[in-house]
Amino acid sequence: MKKTGFLSETSLASPPAALPGARPVTVQRYNGTTQPAQDWLAEEVPVALVYNGVSHVVMMATPQELSLLALGFSLAEGIVATPQDIYDIEEKQGQRGIEVHIELAGRAFEALKQRRRNLVGRTGCGVCGTEQIDDVCRPLPVLPFTQQFPLAALDHGLAQLHDRQKLGQQTGCTHAAAWLSPTGVILGQCEDVGRHVALDKLLGLRSREGWQDGAVLVTSRASYEMVQKAAQCGVEILFAVSAATSLAVDTAIQYGVSLIGFSRSGRATLYTHPERLK
């Protein structure tokens, strides 16, 4: 099997085993001549998050780790204050997509109904359907400065990242979000066709595992919403492999997030609150 980055070229004679979230497809590959070959597609399906029987959001996502998505989205959007506000999560397969039913505590569900937010998102779009402009940037407490992160540890995390992106290696079209320990060890990561969804899944995983010290590393640009999700969940440091948007920088300044872009081996661009970076 020949690989260039995440672009795989796999012969029909020896197809690899399918990974969760990947679907095989026969393609015609051109390299001077055309011949059939086995390739893999990342699955992308509509996923509805349904709170106490009421559909709240539909997003396009890779259909794995959906309980983590439900937990992480609920925390990152401020729907619940703690995981204890969620009593149960159940996946239900439909003909056209998947419904994830989340049973909320009564006080959390009442607060959700008050927000009257019913959005329909697409891959790479986090606010489609938001009813009011003021709902886009919601007020959050400024994060405390409780930790520092050595930039040398970022290099260590980046060195591990590619090999851990199994679905990305097989399909070539997923984003990843990883949690780095203060020494740069990747404690866990999640992949999805949507960068926001990958981050939601990771924030759910972080909550489930109880990780506190460390930083988020995402294989995409940093949008304002990714900064907002991190701040909502108490994440003080966010590394992005690509650039940050202007609103992401403004949001990071406002909420006290250390935002770093163009994270590469031996270099990075520190946009906000560099005092957390050694």
Distance in angstroms (rounded) separating the CA atoms of residues 77 and 232: 7
From 122, 146, 128, 127, select the one nearest 138 (Cα to Cα): 127
For residue 222, the 8-state DSSP code is B
Contact 35, 49 (CB under 8 A): no
Q: What residue type is 13 in one-letter code?
A: A
Nearest in space to 125 (alpha carbons), one of 136, 114, 138, 141? 136
**From 125, 128, 173, 190, the catalytic residue:** 125
Question: How far apart are alpha carbons 184 and 207 in whole angstroms?
Answer: 19
Could you tell me if 167 and 21 are in contact, meaning their C-beta atoms sit under 8 angstroms apart? yes
Q: Tell how strand 54-61 and strand 45-51 pair up.
A: antiparallel
Tokens of 231: 């701040």
Sheet with 215-218: strands ordered across: 186-192, 175-180, 215-218, 237-240, 258-264, 267-270
Q: Is 173 a catalytic residue?
A: no
Q: Rounded to the nearest 5 degrees, what angle is found at the Cα of 256, between the Cα atoms of 105 and 252? A: 90
Q: Are strands 34-42 and 22-30 parallel, antiparallel or unpaired?
A: antiparallel
Catalytic residue ranges = 125
